[in-house]
Amino acid sequence: MTTTMLGRSAPSTRTEATLRVVAPVAVGVLVLGFWQFLVSVVGVSDYLLPSPAAIVGQFVAFLPSMVSATAVTGINSLLGLVIGSLLGILIAALAAGWRPVDQMSAPIVASLAVIPIVALAPVLNSMFGADSQFGRQAIAGLASFVPVFINTLRGFRQTLPVHRDLMKVYAASSSQIVRTVTLPTAIPFIFTGIRIASSLAVISALVAEYFGGPRGGLGGLISTSAASSAYPRAWAYVVASIALGLIFYLATLALERLASRGRQRT
């Protein structure tokens, strides 16, 4: 009976995995087909909605520009994500260990969470000069800091007091308690924050590129293409932005799975 159940569950698992891949692909194909139908048959103007074929053509024609612009925005997003995540983890660790830090950081984090990027980007771009990318990186860092801090602090607080007391009975030092109990419990929460921050970093860097500074990033080229009525080209840069966001999300998801496997082995 057990063998029969295992034999039935394996094909079912494979079917579910296949559907998980096929279903979104099928939906995407249907959406693109309907999109092309609206433009080619119904006659929707390119001004309102360029066709997928026109967007792909512009993507291929301007591929070198797409790659270089994606690299610029990607570097700004990556630096902001790394620095914001490290600061978020560090300050969350301090807030979890010392109540005064927790009380001081709460209103600051709440203020950072509601800062409008649209208002902050021009200010930072003006502060650091027209040729500096630091303003975009700082905005991506601020956007990354908040979710990483909140999730990390929540993770550090998941450790039960009885576990800490047990480690103290074993004469474990504070660093040993953090390394063996607190940090392993918080790791899933930390990676959840980083995964959320990965998308926010890309979005923030893109929005910041609309407001002054060097024009080599995806956000600046989207606004430039739209201003010159090159709408298929602008949509092609949007597609590159979506691809960049997916790359960041999948990379952080892969890191999270590697960390989970490492924890299971230990």
Q: 3-12, 119-128, 137-146, 198-207: lowest mean pLDDT where? A: 3-12
Q: 200, 249 in Cβ contact below 8 A?
A: no
Whether residue 196 is predicted with pLDDT greater than 60 in this model: the reply is yes
Q: 195, 187 in Cβ contact below 8 A?
A: no
151 with 245, same domain? yes
User: Rounded distance, CA 156 to CA 176, Å?
Assistant: 14
Whether residue 75 is predicted with pLDDT greater than 90 in this model: the reply is yes
153 with 184, same domain? yes
| Residue 202 vs residue 174, higher pLDDT | 202
Q: 88, 149 in Cβ contact below 8 A?
A: yes
Write the pLDDT tens digit of every residue in 140-186.
999 999 999 999 998 888 765 655 656 665 556 566 666 666 777 78
The pLDDT of residue 72:
93
The pLDDT of residue 23:
78
Average pLDDT estimate for 196-202: 93
The pLDDT of residue 34:
82
219 with 90, same domain? yes
Domain boundary among 44, 61, 79: 44
Mean pLDDT (the chain) is: 82
Whether residue 243 is predicted with pLDDT greater than 90 in this model: the reply is yes
User: Rounded distance, CA 196 to CA 247, Å?
Assistant: 13
The pLDDT of residue 6:
44
110 with 235, same domain? yes
35 with 69, same domain? no
The pLDDT of residue 3:
47
The range of the structural domain enclosing residue 25 comes to 1-44
Tell me the CA distances in angstroms from 61 to 33, 64, 219, 232, one per residue in order.
22, 8, 19, 11
Q: Which of 231, 256, 223, 251 is nearest to 51 (CA)?
A: 231
33 with 63, same domain? no
CATH number, domain containing residue 205: 1.10.3720.10
What does the buried/exposed string (b/e) look like for 153-167 if buried means 16 or more CB atoms within 10 Å of the residue's CB? bbbbeebeeeebeeb
124 with 225, same domain? yes
The residue with tokens 């494979």 is: 14
Write the pLDDT tens digit of every residue in 250-265.
999 898 888 777 666 6
Average pLDDT estimate for 43-66: 85
32 with 161, same domain? no
**Rounded to 5 degrees, what angle do the CA atoms 31, 199, 93 make?**
150
Domain count within the chain: 2
36 with 64, same domain? no
What does the buried/exposed string (b/e) look like for 52-86 if buried means 16 or more CB atoms within 10 Å of the residue's CB? bebbeebbeebeebbeebbebbbebbbbbbbbbbe
The pLDDT of residue 112:
83
105 with 190, same domain? yes
Whether residue 240 is predicted with pLDDT greater than 80 in this model: the reply is yes
User: Rounded distance, CA 174 to CA 152, Å?
Assistant: 18
The pLDDT of residue 265:
61
The pLDDT of residue 5:
45
Environment class of 100 (CB within 10 Å of its CB; exposed 0-12, middle 13-18, buried 19+): exposed
186 with 67, same domain? yes
Q: 88-97, 155-164, 210-219, 223-232: lowest mean pLDDT where? A: 155-164
- Confidence (pTM): 0.82
The pLDDT of residue 2:
47
Q: 66, 240 in Cβ contact below 8 A?
A: yes
User: Rounded distance, CA 126 to CA 93, Å?
Assistant: 34
Whether residue 91 is predicted with pLDDT greater than 60 in this model: the reply is yes
137 with 18, same domain? no
| pLDDT tier for residue 4 given thresholds of 50, 70 and 90 | very low
The pLDDT of residue 51:
84
